[in-house]
Structure 1
Amino acid sequence: MRYLELNGEALPDDASRLIPLTYGHFTAMQVRGGAVAGWPLHLARLAASSREMFGAAVPDEQVHALAARALAASGLADASMRIMMVPPAGGLSADAVPPDVVVVVADPVDEAPGPALRVCSQVYERELPHVKHLATMGLTRAHRLAVAAGFDDALFVDRDGLVLEGSIYNVAFWDGEAVVWPQAPMLTGIMMQLVQGALTSLGVPQRTTPIRLADVSSFRAAFFTNSQCARQPIASLDDVVFPGDDRLWSLLASMTFASTRL
């Protein structure tokens, strides 16, 4: 099912076709038992991106109330939720005007990791990489091209081979002792931040450093994080096959995240 609200007003489930989605930003999450992991991080993302793209942000308490209202109206306790900030009814302005808020509630997805994925590198650099914006055509095309080439997904690198991020995920590597995150222009995902905090709590060493394609073969394992899964294994990148490491998978499986009820 799909349930949509615009500024707290219910919309037909196909109304997203009518909403101007060429400019704006969003955050996505899984809701479990009416609660969201990392909710304060989602609010901070929405506020910062709104100030950058619209010059003004919707107050956190209003966003919370709109999300809670839409979830309650959907009748779902477990759900997939997307909160989008789109141009207000009067259109974009040079003045600082808060955006309109679209909340989309849909059926939940399984958060358990699937079989290890085969990914391929593609040269692609997102505009405003630190913002989770609505300009997603390039990401969708990259995924399609990867699948057409026999892979499961794409991992982006810049023109110099610097590892950036995936089509809809952040990537991390394991050198046998520490989790290594790419240092590059990219989106700092909410799940990435939650995983980093959980690993710190578990005492797992981590570092952030520039990683190039030529460096990838030195790692024992790789995984990705996104709003749907915190620990999806990656089997290979291009022709580099990762041996894997049971210790890493055990550590990732033991992670826990604090949640906030909507």
Structure 2
Amino acid sequence: MVQARQRPVGELLREWRDRRRISQLDLAISADISTRHLSFVETGRSKPSRDMVLRLGEHLDVPLRERNRLLLAAGYAPAYTENALGDPGMDAVRQAVRQLLAGHEPYPAAVVDRNWDLVDANAAVGLFVAGIPAELTTNVLRATLHPDGMAPHILNLGEWRAHLLGRLRRQVTQTADAGLSELLDELREYPCDQPVPEVEVPGPGDIFVPLKFRHEGTDLTFFSTVATFGTPLDVTVAELVIESFFPAGPATAAYLREWAARVG
């Protein structure tokens, strides 16, 4: 059996530096090492210490998952744990997530992982996903942009699609994740019957990209905020994203309260 070549740590570090568009000199200065030493590390002439790998990973803003891979490539054990959200040691994280979701009712809020797969959501998200095939609801981007998902009910689909694809494109650049790149290619193939702007240019008075959604004949308008854990030391925790939707006007707020009371 042919085994895949283990890429050396220097090659991976150079790739991350190129991706971040940082020169050797700038990285060496920020990481407080000599340019010569950094050059030797990247070319394999010098083996970095464990602390050096972690320091360079931090200054290159490498995701925790990829910092572990850098350590493995250098011959060291991973520094960051990766626990499943259901593990007993993650009780505090689960409770914090549930508190945030419940506290946001009657407005929708959801938690996704690095693949945009749905981890948890509050009851108000049901307003978005009612009637959507179950196989689509596992991934929020597919659920939103697929023609059998939310897409037919999004009044500004072209604008919202451009916003979501832009976020995913930036995430691909940030993480170099091949799976996310494939997801981006898949989503780009979904049909859209509205113009999709290549660049988000705000109109007069615009302060955010709204989500305009029609629910049972009523037009609703939302804006969203994104939250992450501020000081994660676990890969799973670092990759969790909580997206909360707020009504962009009193009519939408009133409808959400009425809908929540009606569905119980």
Structure with more contact order per residue of length (Cα contacts < 8 Å, sep ≥ 6): 1
More helix, by proportion:
2
Q: TM-score, normalised by structure 2?
A: 0.28
**What TM-score comes out, normalization by structure 1 length?**
0.28
Bigger fraction of residues in strand: 1
